Structure 1
Amino acid sequence: MSIKYADRSFGFMGSGDDFSEAKIALLGIPMDFTVSFRPGSRMGPRQIRNVSVGLEEYSCYLDRDLAEIKYFDCGDLVLPFGNVELSLKIIEEAARDLFREGKFPIFMGGEHLVSYPLIKAAFEKYPDLALIHFDAHADLRLDYIGEKNSHATVMRRAAELLGGKNIYQFGIRSGDAAEIAYGKEHTHLFLDQLIVPLQEVIPKLGERPVYVTLDIDVVDPAYAPGTGTPEPGGCSAREIIQCIHMLGAAKVIGFDLVEVLPTHDLSERTALLAAKLIREAMLTFC
């Protein structure tokens, strides 16, 4: 394994021991330095792994089993606590390593800001990259309380990098007036909608490489209460699973799932949903 500064003391269910043979590489990113409401999502990757053993490795939706594919859990990056800039550099370097090694990367956050360096690494390899974004929040603020790098600005940074019309945002139901106006003009913003617009977008993407970022708060807090900024009125667990399956028709080259917060997930239903989505993503995309 080429990634430096990773703790491999635990792993996702069924993960193998050979990085070189693995098609898929999982990596945890335990960072929550810029969250605006509830901290603690840095513990999300570990909890997702912990509960994953309670799920079957077989997907009845896809009639496929994780035993059919080779995947390796790289563990969690070791990040300098509180140092946002250096952490983003470490995250980008790790993602770049995985893309360079030819792996299909699946990243577990952590707060949503961690997606920015992941998108940067993907864009470096795939200049015609399209970005699919599932979230309750637009995350299009120019800055948040003066900070340009925040989980509330991550899609604005991505729009500046990729060009806003290469970004497709689904399930959005929260944001201030300025960022919603920005999204309507500069990105493909689907307010409070997932299934129907996703069905329409996927054929248009053709063979373009697609990176998928999924904030668990796109799901209604009735199904996923363990998140840092819950927003009522979201989709069901069934609907977000359906979205992952639909994306099997696209050329997905990487995936992240962020903002699972174990301290507000006493039933573990949020982490369980996250683990199930990761299982379905592995079996759908690879």
Structure 2
Amino acid sequence: MSLRNGNSTLPTKFMASIDSYDDASIVMAGVPMDFTCSFRPGTRFGPQKIREVSIGIEEYSVYMDRDLTQCSFFDAGDLDLPFGDVDKSLKLIGDVAEEILSDNKFPLFIGGEHLISVPVIKKVYEKYGPELIVVQFDAHADLREGYLGCPNSHASAVRRLIDFMPGKNIYQFGIRSGTKDEFEYAKKHTNMYTIDVFEPLSRVLDDIKDKPIYITLDIDVVDPAYANGTGTPEPGGISSRELLDSIHLFKGANLVGFDIVEVSPHYDQSDRTALLAAKIIREIIMMVG
């Protein structure tokens, strides 16, 4: 697909998206991929559902006292992926991320499963180098070496990051699920903060906010009571309010990329999961745009 033209087959775009790729400082791309989902599939439908419900929230943010119309962002639509071909899809995602970054625009990706973050973050790391910090919001550690013998799995997304970047540059928040081996691995190789998000993030942010920061947000960090539309719901999570408060802590930080993943709309007839994702995206756009 041509990023400049976007994907004209989509029925709708994220609210307030401008019509010009060249004039945008932020480029949004959807990645409808759920090839390795280990429990309930369906995240391939997440990007378009998030766009669809975005019209249900206001363009104005009372948190930021800004309006989306003040921001120059372009929704390039969904990537056309070769269905079932994980390796080729990951390469295509990486190529798109590289194009956005080479044009000095902020990459904002909507998944899709968490594995889609890996090629994006790899390209961001190639641009910003060993100073790059990755902040992960998630219920799951995602630190398995592989799942059912497959190293490229959404259950191994963060472990794959450590193939090319220092694990100690990765900060994990809200983690409440994983194997014992994953938690032991995290003690040695990453910075993991279990269960909570806002309080530990508040403590560490001063040390990292001036470095380039990429945020990868798995919607299942939120308790299923607030976001049940996800493939691997995990009880005991944070509220939608705590997630929004945590995102707002990054105001003034050096954000260089963002993705939100694992919204699976078919499990949520209320659309509250997609609505929360849309609201978070709105806040990120206003924060960096």
TM-score tier (shorter) = over 0.9
* Contact 1:112–1:154 (8 Å) recurs in 2: yes
* Contact 1:107–1:256 (8 Å) recurs in 2: yes
Q: Distance in 2 between matches of 1:206 and 1:26?
A: 23
| Residue number in structure 1 paired with 2:104 | 102
Pairing 1:162-173 to 2, within 5 Å after superposition: 162-173=165-176
Q: Distance in 2 between matches of 1:7 and 1:264?
A: 26
123, 135, 138: which is aligned to 1:135? 138
Once the two structures are superposed, what CA deviation does each residue of 1:191-244 show, in whole Å capped at 9, x if it has no partner? 112111111211101421010000000000000000000000000001101111
6, 27, 30: which is aligned to 2:29? 27
Pairing 1:203-222 to 2, within 5 Å after superposition: 203-222=206-225
* Contact 1:140–1:156 (8 Å) recurs in 2: yes
* 4+ residue segments displaced more than 6 Å: none
Q: Distance in 2 between matches of 1:23 and 1:55?
A: 22
Query: Displacement of 1:156 after TM fit?
Result: 0.5
1:62 aligns with 2:68: no
| Residue number in structure 2 paired with 1:40 | 42
178, 184, 188: which is aligned to 1:185? 188
Query: Displacement of 1:166 after TM fit?
Result: 0.3
Aligned residues: 286
Could you tell me which amino acid in structure 1 is paired with residue 165 of structure 2? Answer: L
**TM-score, normalisation: structure 1:** 0.97
Q: Distance in 2 between matches of 1:55 and 1:227?
A: 20
Q: Distance in 2 between matches of 1:220 and 1:271?
A: 14
Could you tell me which amino acid in structure 1 is paired with residue 59 of structure 2? Answer: E
Q: CA RMSD in A?
A: 1.3
* Contact 1:29–1:108 (8 Å) recurs in 2: yes
Percent identical among aligned pairs is 53
Query: Displacement of 1:62 after TM fit?
Result: 1.1
| Residue number in structure 2 paired with 1:272 | 275
Q: Distance in 1 between matches of 2:184 and 2:5?
A: 40
Once the two structures are superposed, what CA deviation does each residue of 1:82-122 show, in whole Å capped at 9, x if it has no partner? 00000000000000100111111111000000000010010
* Contact 1:2–1:97 (8 Å) recurs in 2: no
Q: Distance in 1 between matches of 2:58 and 2:192?
A: 35
Q: Distance in 2 between matches of 1:252 and 1:270?
A: 24
Could you tell me which amino acid in structure 2 is paired with residue 111 of structure 1? Answer: E
* Contact 1:6–1:77 (8 Å) recurs in 2: no
* Contact 1:202–1:249 (8 Å) recurs in 2: no
* Contact 1:244–1:284 (8 Å) recurs in 2: no
**TM-score, normalisation: structure 2:** 0.96
| Residue number in structure 2 paired with 1:13 | 15
* Structure 2: unaligned runs, 5 residues or longer: none
1:78 aligns with 2:94: no
Q: Distance in 2 between matches of 1:148 and 1:6?
A: 32
